[in-house]
């Protein structure tokens, strides 16, 4: 199975971005990717070689993440999303950082069905058909949810969101 190992290795950066989008925490994203890679290795016999590996891994990661949240809820463990770590190689300006935090906050307010499909398509880069396969829904439903999510994100911020005033000179 050398092909499986190579495809898994090539998919890891994309899988980590998706895991980070789900968890909003670097260490939890690392843990999610590790759990997903371990499960993929254990279940590699289930992977269909004629199909891309990224949608298969994305579905696995989403299921692991949902199970983790469900387990935490049953045990009454609060799993809080930390403030987004916006440190990167290129430091954003203060305004860009505020805008990014606001967008992440608004993505978190989307209904789970819209948020899941948006993250798969926008962050993980899956096609609509691949995202539909991961979520087990028709392609038309993916398109509809993406459209509603984008429309929600384009709306003006809600009144509880602080409005940034720009100085006029």
**pLDDT attached to residue 168:** 46
Number of H helices and E strands in the chain, helices first, is 7, 0
Q: Residue 89: what pLDDT?
A: 47
Per-residue pLDDT, 9: 94
On whether both 125 and 156 belong to a single domain, the answer is: yes
**Whole-model pTM over 0.75:** no
Residues 60 and 104 in one domain: no
For residue 103, give the 3-state DSSP assignment.
Answer: helix
pLDDT score at 101: 77
Q: Report pLDDT for 155.
A: 82
Same domain as 102, residue 86: no
Q: What is the pLDDT of residue 77?
A: 54
Question: CATH number of the domain that 65 lies in?
Answer: 1.10.1740
pLDDT for res 84 = 44
Residue 91's nearest CA partner among 104, 102, 82, 100 is 100
Picking from 91, 109, 126, the residue at the C-terminal end of a domain is: 91
pLDDT, residue 139, reads 94
In 3D, which of 110, 99, 119, 116 has the Cα closest to residue 149?
110
From CA 110, how far away is CA 118, in angstroms rounded? 10
Structural domain count, the chain: 2
31 lies in the same domain as 106: no
Domain residues for the domain of 127 are 95-169
Which segments of the chain have a pLDDT < 50? 81-89, 161, 163, 165-169
Q: Are residues 13 and 78 in the same domain?
A: yes
CA–CA gap between residue 49 and residue 165 (Å, rounded): 54
Task: Give phi and psi for 20, each to the nearest 5.
Answer: -65, -40
What pLDDT, in 10s, does the model give residues 135-169?
899 999 999 999 999 898 888 665 554 545 444 44
Q: Does 7 share its domain with 40?
A: yes
Place of tokens 């998919």: 11
What is the Cα–Cα distance from 46 to 43, expressed in whole angstroms? 6
- The span from the CA of 66 to the CA of 122, in Å, is 19
What pLDDT does 166 receive?
Answer: 47
């Amino acid at each position: 199975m050398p092909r499986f190992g190579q495809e898994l290795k090539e998919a890891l950066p994309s899988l980590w971005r998706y895991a980070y989008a789900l968890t909003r925490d670097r260490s939890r994203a690392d843990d999610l990717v590790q759990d997903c890679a371990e499960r993929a290795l254990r279940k590699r016999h289930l992977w269909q070689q004629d199909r891309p590996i990224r949608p298969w891994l994305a579905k696995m990661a989403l299921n692991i993440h949902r199970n983790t949240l469900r387990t935490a809820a049953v045990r009454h463990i609060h799993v809080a999303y930390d403030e987004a770590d916006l440190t990167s190689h290129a430091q954003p300006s203060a305004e860009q950082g505020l805008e990014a935090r606001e967008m992440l906050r608004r993505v978190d307010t989307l209904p789970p069905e819209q948020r899941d499909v948006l993250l798969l398509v926008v962050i993980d880069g899956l096609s609509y058909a691949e995202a539909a396969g991961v979520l087990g829904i028709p392609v038309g439903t993916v398109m509809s949810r993406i459209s509603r999510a984008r429309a929600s994100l384009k709306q003006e911020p809600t009144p509880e969101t602080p409005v940034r005033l720009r100085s006029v000179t």
